[in-house]
Amino acid sequence: MAESTFKAGLEGMIAGQTSVGEVTQTSLRYRGYEIGDLAEHCCFEEVAHILLHGDLPTRTQLGAFRARVQSAMSLPAPVVDAVQKMPEKTPPMDVLRSVVSLLGHYDPEAQDNSHAANLRKSERLLGQTAAAVGLWCQRVSKVAAVRPDPNKSHGANLLAMMIGKHGSELAGRVMDGTLILYAEHEFNASTFTARTIASTLSDMHSCVSGAIGALKGPLHGGANEAAMRQFLEIGKPENVEKWFRDVQEHNKKHPDNKKLIMGFGHRVYKNGDHRASILREWSIQLTKETGQAHWIDMADRLQALMLKEKNIHPNTDYPAAHAYYQMGIPIDLYTPIFVCSRVTGWCAHIMEQHENNRIIRPLSEYIGHGVRAVTPIDKRG
């Protein structure tokens, strides 16, 4: 077997080619469009159209796309019934994983991997994941059911379904903006999971279910939830330095059980995640409506310490935490929001994998025992 190079976590290694998204140390582009440009000038549905259809929509195309997505927000009755019977303590990410799997049973094109069918399923899943999050909020948080407003963005409607009412225009815009920032990120863990499943020529619903499982972990999508719980643990801005020192002391005493400071660092963005600065500014705007500027103060103090002493910058999960909290969204829904956005990127990658496929099957480096002979069972002591 040819000699190969091993790097833990495949760090820095190219595992495939894509035209969907491009991540560099200084930029993030969706099919060539800069993320800052998209965040400033587009709504999320325009960005979803770019990812799924390849380019920006016309006004007519956008209206038709939005109508198709919103029409998918009525879940099949058996799926609604299944959600209503799930234990209330079920993690919302598990609910979404199960819902997507169940939806495959009721989608007439579930087993059709043609591009046209996959595109239609992608649009349906975009509406269905949002509807599933809203349904779970009705089940657990007892919020009122809110029908999507055809004149509002996907983010504004998603926020309304989570809190049981339409929020302010600013809150709707910020939520829609976070969906833009989270929509695609090249070969991250969940997208690579989706592509690996797709490479076996499995179906769209199986691929997305697997991606949700990968996103659930606190080192991937769950980091935004962990970051907010961290802010709540700190309590107030003046506690930041003591909290930080206590964590450092704990890690010195317990090197095998270190506490991670969540919301910092990125495998690619060594000099800072530019999505984080965009979202921080939106969160600052929210404080003018909520009066909760202490979260920004707290976050900035901790960020300064991490940069000074660890030379580590925040990632986009860091400001997402305090932005979502200001909008009154339950913490355990932060990662499901991620799903409602990233499903577009996943589906784009799944279609790309299906259309130029070779099964993903890397090598491993064996580090176990050398060749051993089997000792007969009666002679094993």
Domain ranges (residues) in the chain? 18-216+340-355, 223-326
∠ CA 257-262-267, nearest 5°, is 95
Mean pLDDT confidence for 119-138: 98
Average pLDDT of the segment spanning 299-314: 92
Structure tokens at 259: 């506490």
From 336, 324, 342, select the one nearest 136 (Cα to Cα): 336
- The residue ranking higher by pLDDT, 231 or 268, is 231
What pLDDT is recorded for position 270? 63
Please give the mean pLDDT across all residues of the chain.
Answer: 93
pLDDT band at residue 1 under the 50/70/90 scheme: very low
Q: What is the mean pLDDT of residues 314-336?
A: 94
- Judged on CB neighbours under 10 Å (0-12, 13-18, 19+), 291 is exposed
User: Environment class of residue 194 by beta-carbon count within 10 Å: exposed (0-12), middle (13-18) or buried (19+)?
Assistant: buried
What pLDDT, in 10s, does the model give residues 84-111? 999 999 999 999 999 999 999 999 999 9
CA distances 60 to 39, 57, 66, Å, are 21, 8, 10
Helix (H, G, I), strand (E, B) or coil at 319: helix
71-80, 143-152, 267-276, 288-297: segment of lowest average pLDDT: 267-276
- Which residues participate in catalysis according to the annotation? 220, 266, 317
- Least confident interval from 63-67, 97-101, 187-191, 258-262: 258-262
Task: Please state, in angstroms and rounded to a whole number, the distance separating the CA atoms of residues 247 and 260.
Answer: 8
In this prediction, residues 334-351 reach a mean pLDDT of 97
The domain 18-216+340-355 having CATH identifier 1.10.10.10: the answer here is no
32-35: which pairs have CB atoms within 8 A and are 24 or more residues apart?
35/180, 35/181, 35/274, 35/275, 35/278
- The CA–CA distances, whole Å, from 178 to 61, 62, 99, 111, 200 equal 23, 19, 23, 32, 32
Question: What is the pLDDT, as a whole number, of residue 3?
Answer: 52
| pLDDT of amino acid 12 | 72
> Closest by alpha carbon to 342, among 165, 222, 170, 261?
222
Which residues face 33 on adjacent strands? Answer: 30
User: In the block, which residue shows the tokens 């990410």?
Assistant: 93
Confirm or reject CATH 1.10.230.10 for domain 223-326, answering yes or no.
yes
pLDDT number for residue 48: 98
Phi, psi of 260 (to 5 degrees): -85, 140
What is the percent of the chain where pLDDT is above 70? Answer: 97
* pLDDT computed for residue 2 by the predictor: 45
- Provide, rounded to the nearest whole percent, the portion of the chain with pLDDT above 90: 82
